[in-house]
Amino acid sequence: MIKIPRHITRTFIQKHPELTFIYSQDVARKGAFGQAAHCVSEPNCYPVSTCWKMCRSSAYFQDSQACEILRQLTLDLKNVPRDKPIILFPKIGEGFSRMKEFAPNMYQWLMNQLDTIKSKDYEFDYSSQ
């Protein structure tokens, strides 16, 4: 069982090149908040889009945009290599992007896809700092 700290840092990511991490980011690839900021530019980290851009002015995904969203998510998922264990950052689509709230059908589709590719052999260590 792979133990992942509850707060994933850039240091942890760099110490574990044998793992692939998936985090959420905007389609524009300009915004990364919270733990996702530790992933940007790391070679073993891959973004999945959860909003159009990280701003509050109509940048959220909506289920009515399903065709465009599915096109982007399919491309994002295609870019994730499958040769190492895949670790998902917690709460993808539930933070600033509010995908779970504003595009619940697309959020569920993404979660189903991620569930099929993520490693089944990891758990978060909530006792870690």
Asked if the structure places residue 126 within a domain, the reply is no
Total number of domains in the chain: 1
For the segment 71-77, the average pLDDT, to the nearest whole number, is 98
Around Cβ 100, how many Cβ atoms within 10 Å?
18
Asked if the structure places residue 80 within a domain, the reply is yes
Asked if the structure places residue 50 within a domain, the reply is yes
Helices 104-117/66-78 angle, 10° precision: 20
Asked if the structure places residue 34 within a domain, the reply is no
pTM: 0.92
Asked if the structure places residue 107 within a domain, the reply is yes
For the segment 1-5, the average pLDDT, to the nearest whole number, is 92
Q: E strands along 11-56, which residues?
A: 20-26, 45-51
Asked if the structure places residue 81 within a domain, the reply is yes
Helix and strand totals (H; E) in the chain: 4, 5
Q: Which residue has the tokens 């700092």?
A: 129
**Enclosing domain of residue 48:** 44-118
pLDDT of residue 107: 98
Asked if the structure places residue 59 within a domain, the reply is yes
pLDDT in tens, 75-96: 999 999 999 999 999 999 998 8
